[in-house]
Structure 1
Amino acid sequence: SSPARSPAGGQPGPASAREKKAKGPILLFVGPPGVGKTSIAKSIARATGREYVRISLGGARDEADIRGHRRTYVGAMPGRILNGMKQAGTKNPVFLLDEVDKLGVSFQGDPSAALLEVLDPAQNDSFVDHYLGVPFDLSEVLFVATANYLQNIPAPLADRMEVVEFSGYTEAEKREIARRYLLPRQLEENGLSAAELALGDEALSELIAGYTREAGVRQLERELGKLGRKVARRIAAHEVERVEVTPETVAELLGRPRVHPERAARHDQVGVATGMFYTPVGGDILFVEAQAMEGKGDLVLTGQLGDVMKESARAAWSFARAHAAELGIDAEAFRRDLHIHVPAGAIPKDGPSAGVTMASAVVSALSGRPVRHDVAMTGEITLAGRVLPIGGLKEKILGAVRAGITTFVLPSENSADLDDLPAEVRARIEVHPVEELGQVLALALRGASLREGRLHFGEPDESAEPEAESALRH
């Protein structure tokens, strides 16, 4: 029998194979401010029992910030990566690179290019700092980077990291965070006990809706701190012994509300359709208004609309002209001017997802049929009348539910996104998935139904089973 080969003979033995350490992923947390990206990195360090090091890269413009200076320079020192390792005192800390999307570029070099080597698991086992001058092994470090905007990070750098998206908190989540963490912290900071300040769920909801407009919870914590200080002053002045905050007393303590979210319309109107929009600070509803008037057949667009939104309006106008007979629109209507306006006029708006809302408002204005005020809709449209999927559905629906709407018209390809909604919201809403603009109009216009590809107005025929009547109940 042949002698067993020793590990020294070029073949790794089982012990050395076990000693090979798995390289962890390099994580990139992307999300709006205040949603807990930095806190999660601290929690990772605490849960894994590792040291935690944080360096902020916001405004770093010099390659030497990362790699260090050569020792021939006066005032030379190591780069921030090795300084962080020295501070940690171990080879495997959790290393947070904060605000990696705010790196600057100057004539002294590009720090994001220097980071390429640091964040590449295939190369960072021999990272050379200019000050140290010898290779240093960073392969056991768990790097976590944070950013607000993914598009501001150079593509080669983003390619080396595993992106984890953080979305903004819903109102229910903010309420729970405030109840468990923010309120106890502010009570302690203001020298109050839980018995001296009682804050009910309704008052907390009023505070969140009327005084904060953000994706995270920083402003909410500031408002709770202000509330705590007001109560502490009253107790110190012996005016009261304890304060129970109700929705009515929130304004008395914090002043008048500074945020005014939209509310659902109270009645049907001709030419006014309800849409939904999404911003990093959450979703809400918007109204698209269309008005036909005497003129030469021009289309007027106002409301600070971006190019994509203007194109959606033109596509809706062209669809209405091409299908006037099926939509019950008189040909004379197109000889009049049509004005489309999206309030509020001071806020820039863009994106394709208001396509179906614009189409509903245009067809309503031209045909004289009112749009249902209790239905919110979203979806991109094509010239052929197809309804295409959109993004940010969870935030849009939550914003519309907060505004008082529970019936929704959505692209059928977005049906799977409804799983992201909390169970209590899914139970309250009625969703109609659609694929064609005709189905949207049959649901959005009062008294309309779709049969054999044509819109019919008046009371729908029960025996005909209109195509758009298939509602998805949650």
Structure 2
Amino acid sequence: MANGETIIVPLLPLRGLLVYPTMVLHLDVGRDKSIQALEKAMMDDHTIFLTTQKEVSIDEPTIEDIYSIGTLTKIKQMLKLPNGTIRVLVEGLERAEIQSFVEKEDYYAVEITTFKEPLEKTAEEEALMRTMLDYFEQYIKLSKKISGETYATVSDITEPGRMADIIASHLPLKLPEKQGILETVDVKERINRILSIIHNEKEVLQLEKKISQNVKRSMERTQKEYYLREQMKAIQKELGDKEGKTGEVAALTEKVEKAGMPEHVKTTALKELDRYEKIPSSSAESGVIRNYIEWLLSLPWSNATEDRLDVNIAEKVLDEEHYGLEKVKERVLEYLAVQQLTNSLKGPILCLAGPPGVGKTSLARSIAKSLNRNFVRVSLGGVRDESEIRGHRRTYIGAMPGRIIQGMKKAGTINPVFLLDEIDKMSSDFRGDPSSAMLEVLDPEQNHNFSDHYIEETYDLSKVMFIATANNLASIPGPLRDRMEIITISGYTELEKIHIAKDHLLPKQMNDHGLKKSQLLVKEDAIQSLIRYYTREAGVRSLERQLATLCRKSAKLIVKQERKKVTITNKNIVDFLGKHQFRYGEAELEDQIGVATGLAYTTVGGDTLSIEVSVTPGKGKLILTGKLGDVMKESAQAAFSYIRSRADQLQIDPDFYEKNDIHIHVPEGAVPKDGPSAGITMATALISALTGRAVRKEVGMTGEITLRGRVLPIGGLKEKSLSAHRAGLKKVLVPIENEKDLDDIPESVRNELTFVLVSHLDEVLNHALVEEK
């Protein structure tokens, strides 16, 4: 491009605007110096130099504030507007560069040199023009902001420089980019620059189009959902369903947010809620999901009661509600003390084992009260199905969580005292083994993430204080028993029963029967008679029933106005309860030959057992009756073999087993009996029958016998001792190895019974048999 002439022309600085050669444009001019420059140009040859300010905000620009290259233009038209500005129509002629600034008083003037574009075009320029035109056409199709007429106008242009300027004027470029094209004097370079800009703009437009389509698609889906929801609301409103599921789901979502669930449970709940909202109410699955969400919301996830960690208050509560049971109380107080020191102890698993009626369940309730915890009881008696513990899967009709989760819902807190009642009564069948499912519940290492089939999400049971009750530890599987701390409650002495009746049972029954203290008085000797002659049990359940009978009969007398106050004594108790049901005193009224009193352990406490032996002429048969188990039969045979081996020392005919039939019978033949501890009792009764020496009536005994006559230790000594005390025995023979168990026997019983430790049957016979005259 060749340089043209150098001329001096008025200057019009533009703000935020740029004019290319051959471009026609309207301008509004308001600055005084600019208006003066226009007027000067109109007076001369209508030409004026337009260039752009670098900064729009400057009102009085200098040579440094404007670009040096601009456009020499011709003023086509000028019009004064009412607001004082001038609207002018200009046409760009050619590029020009400022050489110097000419100071004028009223306007700006500059000396410029113009650039002449070559009239001829090369083949390369022709190719570049065609490429540029093709790019511009593609850009127009993508942009849709430029009309088709514009493309037609541009395609008619034959000069490459002019075509580049016209296309640049239609591109959405920032001012510095436009100025850059204006300053590119070389035509080929200018076209290449425009090609690069159009290429970039095309890519941006394609990306915009893609984003726009995605947004539109998303908007359409959202609008469609909104439209369908509005329709559904309208339909539900017409059907009288108020707001349908929408309001319900919103309320449930709010509850889920406030429930304090762990994050993984909360995520599951919200996911199920989303499914619930989309499923029609008529669908069966809708009810299943709703049920599931209700269960998740009803479970305690973070709500806990604050433990009362004052050991003294807890001890006071336990003593007020229960007499005796020192071992259990001590264990609870130890737990509290450790909790107070560490504040992080896992819930213990206690198992209260003992006969019915000794207060296992009520003690658990008192423990909850002393700890200030909620109490929940679940009975496991007769549970045979594993799903009773773990719950059923939601795929089954009528599925429900297991008893553990149901109990937690009832408790309402994450740290209740949870009573598993009658844990020894669980059994198993083809539906699974519930005791195996209990292993996870009662294992402190596992129960922090207990899994219920219905809830599916893990539930933390580690803060729960589990207390189990059992009558018979033998029926609890070993692995389950291993996870529990066994505390044995053997039963009550007569003295303890009197205290319990006076302080707890009688006031409770009087209150239940509407009797005041002024209306009924039961004297202590009457309670003692009640215990001795109307009950024979380890616990106090029958005692409570008999006291209830006294209350009922007294209430009847008072209501019929036969008496204003009823006093029950040892003498008139027969009038209320009838004749004595049990005999108190010696197990036998007199010393007898062939009858020995044994002590037995049963699931309902200890009991005395008379073993009878009769010897009749015969052929040496050994007959055993009384529904005896295999172990008991073996004890009888062991005793028989021992006597045969020691016949001379015992002064028995060595051929006794060939000449006589021996019949061993244990009364109450309908009751199954088994166990090794009747060994020495059978041997004593046999020797008594064979030697003719009577057995002392006041002596009871328990111990296993060997073929050499050794006495082996037994279990349940405390229960057996209490039964001996109830039966009125005076002396009890126990194996020497059970000496350690004597400390567990209540002091009142130890004072009234004489315990003799024996290691061999010879010692047993010395104490049990009456001396020969």
TM-score normalised by structure 1 residue count = 0.82
Counterparts of 2:399 and 2:670, CA distance in 1: 51
Amino acid at match of 2:475: N
Match of 2:544 in 1: 221
Tell me if 1:181 matches 2:504: yes
> Contact 1:262/1:285 (CA < 8 Å) preserved in 2?
no
Counterparts of 2:517 and 2:544, CA distance in 1: 16
Match of 2:722 in 1: 398
1:352 equivalent among 676, 682, 685: 676
Counterparts of 2:458 and 2:736, CA distance in 1: 55
Counterparts of 2:721 and 2:375, CA distance in 1: 38
> Contact 2:621/2:661 (CA < 8 Å) preserved in 1?
yes
Match of 1:295 in 2: 618
> Contact 2:533/2:582 (CA < 8 Å) preserved in 1?
yes
CA offsets, 1:292-315, max 9 Å, x none? 222223323333333222222222
Counterparts of 2:502 and 2:396, CA distance in 1: 54
Q: Which has the larger radius of gyration?
A: 2
Tell me if 1:368 matches 2:689: no
Counterparts of 1:20 and 1:185, CA distance in 2: 37
What secondary structure sits across from 2:613 in the alignment? strand
Deviation larger for 430-439 or 341-350: 341-350
Residue 397 of structure 1 deviates from its aligned partner by: 2.7
Match of 1:159 in 2: 482
Match of 1:322 in 2: 645
C-alpha change, 1:410 and 1:253, in structure 2 (3 Å) is same
Amino acid at match of 2:667: P
C-alpha change, 1:225 and 1:376, in structure 2 (3 Å) is same
* Number of aligned residue pairs: 432
1:278 equivalent among 601, 605, 628: 601
CA offsets, 1:225-281, max 9 Å, x none? 111010111011121122221233222112233445674333333323332223233
Structure possessing the higher relative contact order (Cα contacts under 8 Å, 6 or more residues apart): 1
Match of 2:8 in 1: none
Amino acid at match of 2:545: R
> Contact 1:353/1:380 (CA < 8 Å) preserved in 2?
yes
C-alpha change, 1:19 and 1:184, in structure 2 (3 Å) is closer
Match of 1:92 in 2: 415
Counterparts of 1:338 and 1:72, CA distance in 2: 65
> Contact 1:91/1:141 (CA < 8 Å) preserved in 2?
yes
Tell me if 1:21 matches 2:344: yes
Q: What root-mean-square deviation, in Å, do the aligned CA atoms of Structure 1 and Structure 2 show? A: 2.8
What is the 5 A alignment of 1:61-80? 61-71=384-394, 75-80=398-403
TM-score normalised by structure 2 residue count = 0.52
Counterparts of 2:618 and 2:392, CA distance in 1: 70
Amino acid at match of 2:731: T
Tell me if 1:425 matches 2:749: yes
Tell me if 1:312 matches 2:602: no
> Contact 1:312/1:355 (CA < 8 Å) preserved in 2?
yes
Match of 2:570 in 1: 247
Deviation larger for 284-293 or 245-254: 284-293
Counterparts of 1:415 and 1:154, CA distance in 2: 29
Counterparts of 1:208 and 1:221, CA distance in 2: 10
> Contact 2:385/2:429 (CA < 8 Å) preserved in 1?
yes
C-alpha change, 1:132 and 1:380, in structure 2 (3 Å) is closer
C-alpha change, 1:285 and 1:75, in structure 2 (3 Å) is closer
> Contact 1:330/1:367 (CA < 8 Å) preserved in 2?
no
> Contact 2:490/2:718 (CA < 8 Å) preserved in 1?
no
Deviation larger for 289-298 or 58-67: 58-67
Match of 1:452 in 2: none
> Contact 1:309/1:354 (CA < 8 Å) preserved in 2?
yes
> Contact 2:585/2:728 (CA < 8 Å) preserved in 1?
no
2:442 equivalent among 114, 119, 123: 119
Counterparts of 1:265 and 1:30, CA distance in 2: 31
C-alpha change, 1:59 and 1:262, in structure 2 (3 Å) is same
C-alpha change, 1:368 and 1:84, in structure 2 (3 Å) is closer
C-alpha change, 1:174 and 1:136, in structure 2 (3 Å) is same
Gaps of 5+ in 2: 1-340
Tell me if 1:436 matches 2:760: yes
C-alpha change, 1:77 and 1:231, in structure 2 (3 Å) is same
C-alpha change, 1:246 and 1:64, in structure 2 (3 Å) is same
Match of 1:6 in 2: none
> Contact 1:235/1:242 (CA < 8 Å) preserved in 2?
yes
Counterparts of 2:431 and 2:689, CA distance in 1: 60
Tell me if 1:191 matches 2:547: no
CA offsets, 1:52-79, max 9 Å, x none? 2233333445544444455555555544
C-alpha change, 1:72 and 1:21, in structure 2 (3 Å) is same
Match of 2:713 in 1: 389
Match of 2:424 in 1: 101
Match of 1:10 in 2: none
What secondary structure sits across from 1:354 in the alignment? helix
C-alpha change, 1:141 and 1:284, in structure 2 (3 Å) is closer
Match of 2:174 in 1: none
Match of 1:408 in 2: 732
C-alpha change, 1:147 and 1:396, in structure 2 (3 Å) is closer
What secondary structure sits across from 2:643 in the alignment? helix
2:523 equivalent among 197, 200, 215: 200
CA offsets, 1:152-171, max 9 Å, x none? 33433333222222222233
Counterparts of 1:310 and 1:105, CA distance in 2: 29
C-alpha change, 1:371 and 1:76, in structure 2 (3 Å) is closer
Match of 2:353 in 1: 30
> Contact 1:261/1:284 (CA < 8 Å) preserved in 2?
no
> Contact 1:262/1:286 (CA < 8 Å) preserved in 2?
no
Counterparts of 2:544 and 2:665, CA distance in 1: 37
What secondary structure sits across from 1:331 in the alignment? coil
CA offsets, 1:177-230, max 9 Å, x none? 111111001111112122322212221122223333433222221221111010
Match of 1:340 in 2: 664
What secondary structure sits across from 1:247 in the alignment? coil
**Identical counterparts, % of pairs:** 56
Residue 325 of structure 1 deviates from its aligned partner by: 1.6
C-alpha change, 1:243 and 1:130, in structure 2 (3 Å) is same
> Contact 2:355/2:605 (CA < 8 Å) preserved in 1?
no
